[in-house]
Chain A
C-alpha cells in the first residue's frame, strides 16, 4: 500500500508536467522539448530570489512568472516564425531541442553542475494508519491534485477552455470561424509554462535539483502522454499515474537503476501495440498521417 501511495503521489506531480506538455502538443502539434529547459530553470530562479533575501512566497511567484514568460517567449520568438513558414513537426522539435540545450547550458554557466536544494533541515513525517507520508509528499499531493482539478474545470467548464479544445480538434476550422490562432497558441504556451514551473518547484522542493534533470523529466512526461493517449486531454494523467506506480514497483522489487529501462520498455510496447495510447481511439490512415 505504501508503494502504491508513493507511486500515485509521484505520478501526480509527473501528471502536472505531462499535462503541461500536452497543453502545447494537442493544440499546436509542437513537440515541446524546450519545456525541459523551463523545468530546469524555474528552481534556479526561485533559488536566486531566495538568495536575494526575498520572502519564500515572492520567490515562488517570481520563479513561476519567469517560467511562464520564458514559455511565451519560446512561442513568440521561435515556434510562431516556424509556423508561419509551415515548418514540419521535425523542424519545431529540433529548434525546441536547441532552446532546451541553450537554457540548460546557461543554467550550468551561471549556477554550476552541483545539486541544489530549496529547503533545509529534515522533512517531518506523518502517519495515516500504516502509511507514512512526508510533509513534502503531502504538499506535492495537494498542489498537484488541486492544479489538475482547476485545469480540467477550466478546460471543460469555461468558454476559453472550450476554444482551447476546439483548436486542438481542428485548428484550420477554428481559424476559419474567426478565432485568433495566435492568441490561443500563446495561451497554450503560457498554460504549459505555468504548469511546468509549478511541477518543477514541487519536485525541486522534495528532492533537490540540478541543471541536467530537465530532459529526463520531460521525457518521462512524454512517455506518460503517449501511454495515456496523446489525442486525449485526460490521457496524460492516467498515463502519469500508471507510470508513477510502475516505477515505484520497479524501484522496490529491482533497483532504481532499472526504472528508466522499464519506463522506455513500456513506451516501446505501447507504441507498437496501441500507438494511440490507453484512452486514444483508432484513427483513419489519412487522419493519423
Chain B
C-alpha cells in the first residue's frame, strides 16, 4: 500500500511539473530545458524557508512560487527576442547556471541554508520538516498523498481556468504566428513573461512538495537529466491541452515500475528505462509528433 501511495505522490509531483511545462511548451511554443532548475528553486526555497526562517507549509509554498516566478525573468526576457533553437540554448544556459549555483553556493563550516552556505553544495540540505497544515502535522505517507492529490487538482483547475480564457488564445495565436499577433496590437512580450512566470511558479510548487516529502534535497534535482525527463513527459503525452502532460507523466512514471516486475538485473533497469525514453522520443517524432494525447504538433 505504501508503495502505491509513494507512486501516487511521485505521479502528482511530476504531473504538476508537466502541466506547468505545458503552459510554456504547448501554449507558447517555447521548448525550455530549464524547467528542472525552477523545480529546484522551489525545493531549495522551501527547504531554507522551513529550516532557517521557520515558516509553515503554506507561506513557504507561496514564497517558493514567488521566488521562482521572479527568477523566471531569466528566461522570459530573452524570449522577447529569441525563439526556436536560440531560446532552447538560452534556457539551457539558465539551467546550467542555476545547477552550478546549487552545486557551488557553499562555504565550509557555515550553517546550511544561511546566505554564506545557501545550498550546502553537493551535500544538500537534510532534515526538511514534513508539512504542517492548519495545525495538523502530515507525517504519514497517506496524508502526504492526499495533500499531493489536492495540489495536483488545484494546479489542474488553475491551468484549465487559464487555458480556457482569452489569454490562452493570445498565447496560441502568438505560438502560431507571433508577427500577426503583434500586428493585431497584442502585447506578446507581456504574455510571454506572464506565461513563463506562472509556469515556473507552478514547477516550484511541485519542487516544494517534493522537498517536503523526501525531507532531503541535493543539486541532482536541478540536473539536465531531470529537465529532459519533464520535457519527455510533455512530448510523449502531448502538449497543447490538459490531458497530454498527465498522460506523459503517467507513462514515464509507469515504465520503470513495469520493469521492476520483469526479470532484469537491477543494475540495468535504470539504463533500460532511459533507453526506452530515448526510443519513445524518436518514434514519437516520426509517427505521432503531437504525442499520445496532445493537440499541438511539434512538426
Contacts and interface: CB of A to CB of B under 8 A. Distances in A.
A258 B282 CA distance: 34
A257 B103 contact: yes
Size category, B interface: 35 or more
Specify which of A81, A86, A102, A219 lies most central, judged by the most chain B CB atoms within 10 Å of its CB: A102
Contact of B275 (A85, A89, A105): A105
Contacts of B93: 264-265, 267-268, 271
Contacts of A222: 89
A82 B285 contact: yes
Nearest to A31: B85
A88 B298 contact: yes
Contacts of A93: 31, 85, 88
A87 B88 CA distance: 17
Contacts of B233: none
Main secondary structure of the interface of B (DSSP, over half): helix
Chain A residues touching B, range: 35 or more
A82 to B, nearest CB: 6
B86 interface: yes
Contacts of B271: 105, 108-109
Contact of B78 (A31, A106, A268): A268
Contact of A94 (B272, B274, B281): B281
Contacts of A215: 224
Interface of A: 31, 78, 81-82, 85-95, 97-102, 104-106, 108-109, 215, 219, 222-223, 226, 255, 257-258, 260-261, 263-265, 267-268, 271-272, 275
Interface of B: 31, 78, 81-82, 84-86, 88-90, 92-94, 96-97, 99-101, 103-104, 224, 228, 235, 268, 271-272, 274-275, 277-282, 284-286, 289, 298-299
Given A87-B285, A215-B224, A222-B89, 11 more contacts: A90-B31, A90-B299, A95-B286, A98-B280, A99-B278, A105-B278, A106-B275, A109-B268, A257-B100, A258-B100, A268-B97
